[in-house]
Amino acid sequence: MVQTKKDPVLAVLSLSGGNDGLNCVIPRNNGFYRDFRPTLGVPEDQIIPINDEIGFHPTMGPLKKFWDEGKLAIFVGIGYPTPSYSHFRSMDIWHTCEPEVIGTEGWLGRATKQLDPNSENVLTAVNFGRGLPRALVMDGVPVASVGNLETYGLLTGIEGENQRNDALDVFGRMYSPAIGTGAVMDYIHQTGTDALKGADILSTAPDNYTSSVEYSPTAIGQYMKNIAQTHLAGFGTRVLYTTSPYNGFDSHANQAQANAGLLTDVSNTVDTFMTDLREHDASDNVTLLLFSEFGRRVTDNGSGTDHGAAGVAFAVGEHVKGGVYGTYPSLAPADQEDGGNLKFNLDFRSVYSTILEDWFQLDAEPIVGGNFERAKFLA
């Protein structure tokens, strides 16, 4: 169990599209890596060494800082049995912890339900981006989904501050509890009132935020900034979630160039985010998780890589015990899974279980649907 000064908070950055683990945390001395990555192999002298075996992609210097501080957990060989190569299905599996059947509830929806059983705070979980990822879906758990924190709210199309405030007043009155309009109408009125309340609270976050750091202007940078702003505003939010631009990591072609840009963005943004929280003395109770729905094929296709299985994930935070968790999968042809894939040895549900048990102090088993040995990366 981890002791934090304030209630523990989880931030999640989902890397959509299938991040190529092999070119992110690189088995730098492995001859097979050179054999199978004739086009995309990163020259050894450019790799940033982590230990004797592995190293970071050259663009990931900012993340290496946290490794040096002992605050970065690297999960290698992470995945689940019988991998799906579909973005949708595999992401659903990571979201619902249901590799066998189609699940409807998300693991963080369930966790939010435990953290705030009576939905007392409409902002216990907040998503940044359009539409709710399945990870946060759970009947009766309200989750705000914020496309842009700076402009979030109702009737955002009305120009002029006074006009909009007037309109919102009318809205508030129209949605105030009515008598005798029926159960469905009552419910909608209550929901509208809740939505207005949530939006009112959230809209104060950017106003009260100042910082010396500057986030990158990319979607990843801006959403992580929104996460920091919401956290710093002290609304009692426990789960903060965002997703990188849809399928951006789906590097079938021209991977060398595209991924260098993405990894630069992710590494810089993590650095900016942690610096921002530290500057506000607000990093102690935050763990940041980064994951992707799958890794990619061992062999490059002459220009990129295609959908694969086991990949890499990361956790960063003041209470994270730096280290490599899981075993780097063998690249030897005989050890590759059907399809030319790395075989997983660390179930993602072990990482979730650790977060749920050691961080949120919840019973992980009903949330992830089983007992998974914890990867004890939090202290």
Partner 1 sequence: MAEQDIALMAHLLRRAGFGASRDEIEAKASQGYDSVVQELLNPESQEAVEEDLLIRYNPSYYEAAAIENNVQQWVWRMINSPRQLQEKVALFWHMIFCAGHSKIDSGQEMGLMVDIFRQDGMGKFDDLLLKLSTNPGMMYYLDNTESHKANLNENYGRELLELFSLGVGMDEAFNYSEDDVKVCARAFTGWNIAPPYPPFPHGRSPWEFRFDPADHDFSEKTFLGETGNWNGDDIIRIVCEQPATARFLARHLYNYFVADEPQIPAWRLTPPRDQKAIEAMEKAYYDSDHSIKKMLEVLFTSDFFKDDSVRYQKVKNPTEMVVSLIRMTGEFQGYQPGLFEVSQEPKYMGMDLMNPPTVEGWHTGREWIDSGTLVERINFASDMLGNTELEGVRSLVNRMMGLGAKLTPEQFVNGCLDLTGPVQVTPDTMGQLIAHASQEGDLSHGNASEQSEFTRRTGEMFQMIAATAEFQFE
Partner 2 sequence: MATHFFGLTSRTYKYSHAVGRAEFAGTGFRNPTDMAIAADGTVYICNRSYENRPDGVHITVITMDEDYVTEFGAYGEADGEFMWPTSVVLDSKGNVYLADEWLNRITKFTSDGEFVSKWGTAGSGDGELKGPAGLAIDSDDNIFVVDAGNHRVQKFSLDGKYISKFGSEGSADGEFNNPWGIALDGEGHIYIADWRNDRIQKFTADGKWEASIGSSGSGVGQLNRPNGLAVDSDGDIYVADWMNNRVQVFAPDGRYITEFRGQAELSKWGRDKLASNPDMIRQRSLAYANDPGYEQGLAHPCAVKIDSQGRIVIIDHTRNRLQVYVKEAEPALV
Q: Which is nearer to partner 1, 113 or 319 (CB)?
A: 113
Number of residues this chain uses to bind partner 2 (CB under 8 A):
17
Considering only residues 136 to 195 of the shown chain, the ones binding partner 1 according to CB under 8 A are: 142-145, 153-158, 163, 166-167, 170-171, 173-175, 178, 181, 183-185, 187-189, 191-192, 194-195
340 binds partner 2, rule: CB under 8 A: yes
User: Considering the complex, what minimum distance in angstroms separates the CB of residue 297 from partner 2?
Assistant: 5
Q: Which is nearer to partner 1, 80 or 314 (CB)?
A: 80
Considering only residues 237 to 276 of the shown chain, the ones binding partner 2 according to CB under 8 A are: 252-254, 258
Cβ pair 137, 241 in contact under 8 A: no
Cβ pair 83, 294 in contact under 8 A: yes
Q: Which is nearer to partner 2, 89 or 252 (CB)?
A: 252
Reduce the secondary structure of the chain to three states and give it as a string.
CCCCCCCCEEEEEEECCCCCHHHCEECCCCHHHHHHCCCCCCCHHHCEECCCCCEECHHHHHHHHHHHCCCEEEEEEEECCCCCCCHHHHHHHHHHCCCCCCCCCCHHHHHHHHHCCCCCCCCCEEEECCCCCHHHCCCCCCCEEECCHHHCCCCCCCCCHHHHHHHHHHHHHHCCCCCCCCHHHHHHHHHHHHHHHHHHHHCHHHHCCCCCCCCCCCHHHHHHHHHHHHHHCCCCCCEEEEECCCCCCCCCCCHHHHHHHHHHHHHHHHHHHHHHHHHCCCCCCEEEEEEECCCECCCCCCCCCCECCCEEEEEEECCECCEEECCCCCCCHHHCECCCECCCCEEHHHHHHHHHHHHCCCCCHHHHCCCCCCCCCEC
Q: Which is nearer to partner 1, 188 or 213 (CB)?
A: 188
Between the alpha carbon of residue 181 and those of residues 175, 189, 190, 260, 369, the distances in Å are 12, 10, 12, 57, 41
User: Considering the complex, what minimum distance in angstroms separates the CB of residue 250 from partner 1?
Assistant: 11
User: Considering the complex, what minimum distance in angstroms separates the CB of residue 348 from partner 1?
Assistant: 17
299 binds partner 2, rule: CB under 8 A: yes
Choose which of 205, 298, 312, 355 interacts with partner 2 (CB under 8 A). Answer: 298
Q: Which is nearer to partner 1, 5 or 173 (CB)?
A: 173
Q: Which is nearer to partner 2, 234 or 339 (CB)?
A: 339
User: Considering the complex, what minimum distance in angstroms separates the CB of residue 144 from partner 1?
Assistant: 6
User: Considering the complex, what minimum distance in angstroms separates the CB of residue 143 from partner 1?
Assistant: 6
- Which one of partner 1, partner 2, none interacts with residue 303, CB within 5 to 8 A by kind? partner 2
Q: Which is nearer to partner 2, 339 or 366 (CB)?
A: 339
Which residue stretch of 52-60, 92-100, 109-117, 304-312 sits at the interface with partner 2 (rule: CB under 8 A)?
Answer: 304-312
Considering only residues 270 to 329 of the shown chain, the ones binding partner 1 according to CB under 8 A are: 306
Report the DSSP beta bridge partners of residue 307. 296
Q: Which is nearer to partner 2, 277 or 298 (CB)?
A: 298
339 binds partner 2, rule: CB under 8 A: yes
The site for partner 2 (CB under 8 A) is made up of 252-254, 258, 297-306, 338-340
The site for partner 1 (CB under 8 A) is made up of 84, 86, 88-89, 92, 102, 104, 122, 130-132, 142-145, 153-158, 163, 166-167, 170-171, 173-175, 178, 181, 183-185, 187-189, 191-192, 194-195, 198-199, 306
